[in-house]
Amino acid sequence: MATDIIIYHNPECGTSRNTLAMICNAGIEPHVIEYLKTPPSRALLVELIGRAGIGPRALLREKGTPYAELGLADTALSDDALVDAMMAHPILINRPLVVSPLGVKLCRPSEAVLDLLPTGQLGTFTKEDGEQVVDASGQRIA
């Protein structure tokens, strides 16, 4: 089954790697966009935020970014200002963001991607930290 899945991915991020691996474990070869190398356009970023049903603040990454230095914790900042910051510093875009026919979601934790996959897992899946997420029959472990 051909399924169009896009993952905005950072290969340095364990959550992003686990999410990508779960997509592949469903037999899907996604379009992988390393967003630090190829950031989305402003219009696309705004569209993805809207389709995910979140606000720009919910997509902001704090850890390992210039979040504090830029004063982004200030709740008076507009959504436009937050998007401007993400455009200027793509590392501020939290990841992984996944687009599928079933929706758009920031997949934190990584197993949130299972809700976006139109096919089930093909077998067991264990995250990099050793946590088993899917059993041998392809069923999600609660």
* Cα 48 to Cα 56: distance, rounded to the nearest angstrom: 10
Q: 87 Cβ partners below 8 Å, 6+ apart?
A: 39, 42, 45
Which pLDDT does position 1 carry in this prediction? Answer: 45
SS3 73: coil
Both tokens assigned to 129? 């930290």
Q: Are the C-beta atoms of residues 123 and 26 closer than 8 Å to each other?
A: no
Residue whose C-alpha is closest to residue 125's, from 117, 135, 115, 116:
135
User: What pairs with residue 103 in β-bridges?
Assistant: 100
* Candidate list 13, 20, 99, 133, residue with the active-site label: 13
pLDDT tens, residue by residue, 12-46? 999 999 999 999 999 999 999 999 999 999 999 99
The C-alpha atoms of residue 60 and residue 55 are separated, in whole angstroms, by: 9
Give burial (CB, 10 Å; 0-12/13-18/19+) of 3. Answer: middle
CA distances from 58 to 6, 7, 82, 92, 109 (A): 20, 18, 10, 11, 14
DSSP code of 93? Answer: B
Mean pLDDT per 10-residue segment, the chain (142 residues): 84 97 96 97 98 97 97 98 98 97 97 95 96 94 86
Structure token pair of residue 23: 């997509």
The pLDDT value given to residue 142:
80
Backbone torsions φ then ψ of 84, nearest 5 degrees: -55, -45
13 an active-site residue?
Answer: yes
